Chain A
């Protein structure tokens, strides 16, 4: 059961990573949700034992390799969000998907805020408001994404 959800987790994280780095046209790229962050959040909430902080940290590290100006930036932001999700997982997962989306939205905002601050601190400031768009699209896509990730799963620990 644990091993099963772990393979599911790694598989979905890989798919999410591919979706994250897939080249897309510009307008789609702006609204592209942070798939990997959503996936990590989903597993932190629904299978905190299988996932948890290690997954958050290493997923963030992968994001750093693909798109981080400084190594460790996404790792820090994602471990922070993962930590909160793991700590509050019981409270979050008892809610219906729509309400979960309302919780995911500030989590994504926090994630982006950490990135934003580190960007500024490390001398790569990107002040365009477009960088916040994905938090909205991420929250919107949460209910269907959660349904897909949890499809046919008995992972409710």
Chain B
């Protein structure tokens, strides 16, 4: 660890805090007997009571420790609230409340160390943003911390709902971008935690859409032989979208696990959830990237590249499950799990939910044990192969601008999103939070939960992932494009017409938001795009 964040000041401060703590005494309710001596030497906090717990423990020189010390100072000064309230996606709550692998839960550890109760309020992943927006616009201040898709960060900031975290970050030095343990690249950190150059969010997810496939199918002699016969090459993870579509076309109608009919394209295509598939196709259409907007900030949807991507995307429905247009990510998971689909691109936790053994040792789904992953396909250009995926959704925590005590709320977020607690949490199979930090991938719990095959695939995918839209106006822009794509998918329009209409609607959104406001943001967002070419 390069200790840029280890300063003399923090140590002095925490020393003072400890003194204060001893003098006043913290609420004894929250001190479990004998807890202190269970820490590994030199550690002062973190989970205890299971083998390997020491890997998630910390002291005041570490990000989590600084957060806890900060809280203790606020508690000592008598300024701390008795509880903080977080709005959280339903499917993620388990990672905070369920003990893993045994012993305390994340929530237990937080409450024990700080004495501040953590109140979790759930909302479905699909409409959590509507809940956040309701809270912001009605100024009800019901939550100290919001979690929401990373895409909504710009909207939230512009709506005045999120607190600028620059000062807190400067003071408490989270290890988000730590060279050894943090985000894979400095660029990723910029992308995930900042908006318009300022700190606003804490990433609690790794939604870099990753390709997962049924290795059993790909290696099956009958399938592989027939494929070679038809396409003159091996049935292997595709390098290009063209190959990927060939695989989808090939598998469609073949017979799979337990005699089930295979649909070659496993991607879910419901409104909202299917959108990232199109973005991924679009991004690879140019060297080094096909940006969503041109240099002047005008939409790039009415271009031959976008129309081609849309046509291919619409074409791919032919190989998808008949109900795919009402499939969300969860049905996508079931599809690959049941063996109905051979490959799909989706959230990485597909591996932990689907490829899993039940407690009684039986496979959780028919395809358990057969899955593997590959790096995203792309488009071959003269200068090389542009493989692209996207970051889309990605649960992100923000401090509400109406938080009762913003500093406490921030410190909780720092504690939760720092590399030790987050690593521990992401190993827990009970929720959505996915690995993305370097420390996550090195952790054996995470490797066990997400499987070895995902580790490299995720890392490689992250370095090839472009950001979907996350600046103000995103909800309107995505909704407009999404609706046009759905119209094309269902044959109400040609792909070309849909792109033309979407382009027009994007222009309208930009006009209504104010071109002077939007265009600089659009231009700035390009900085976060990777330029890697294979």
Asked if chains A and B come from one complex, the reply is: no
Interface residues of A (CB under 8 A from B): none
Interface residues of B (CB under 8 A from A): none
